[in-house]
Amino acid sequence: MNSSVSTQDLVKIANEADNVVDFFGPSIKYKCDDMDINVAYYSITTLPTKLKEWVFELLKSNMKNLYKDSNIGWNPKQKRKEMNDKNCRYLIASNNEKPIGFVMFQFTWEETMADDDKEIEVIYCYEIQLAEDARRKGLGTFLMRSLEKIGKNWKMNKVMLTAFKKNKSAINFYVNRLGYQIDEISPSEVLLPKEAEEYDYEILSIKL
- State the DSSP H helix or E strand holding residue 185, giving kind and residue range, or none if neither: none
Do the domain assignments include residue 4? no
pLDDT in tens, 114-132: 876 788 999 999 999 999 9
Task: Tell me, yes or no, whether 1 lies in a domain.
Answer: no
pLDDT score, position 7: 59
| Structural domains in the chain (count) | 1
Q: What is d(CA 49, CA 93) in angstroms, rounded to the nearest whole number?
A: 16
**Residue 88 domain-assigned?**
yes
> Is 72 part of a structural domain of the chain?
yes
Contact assessment for residue 187 and residue 196, using Cβ atoms and an 8 Å cutoff? yes
Nearest partner of 175 among 155, 149, 205, judged by Cα: 205
Q: Is residue 179 part of a domain?
A: yes
Structural domain for 170, as ranges: 10-207
d(CA 28, CA 103): 14
CATH of the domain at 182: 3.40.630.30
Mean pLDDT of 73-95: 97
Residue 131 Cα to chain centre, angstroms = 16
| Contact yes or no for 7/109 (Cβ under 8 A) | yes
Within a domain: 146? yes
Instruction: Dump pLDDT digits (tens) for 35-52.
Output: 899 999 999 999 999 999
Dihedral (Cα; 6, 183, 166, 79), 10-degree rounding: -10
| SS3 label, residue 43 | strand
User: What pTM does this model have?
Assistant: 0.93
Q: Which residues are CB-neighbours of 174 under 8 A, at least 6 positions away?
A: 144, 161, 163, 180, 204
Distance CA 10, CA 143 (A): 23
- The pLDDT, as a whole number, for residue 1 is 45
Tell me whether residue 5 is in a domain: no
pLDDT at 33 over 90: no
Distance CA(97)–CA(193), nearest Å, equals 47
For residue 201, being part of any structural domain is answered with yes
Orientation angle between helical segments 49-68 and 76-83, nearest 10 degrees: 130
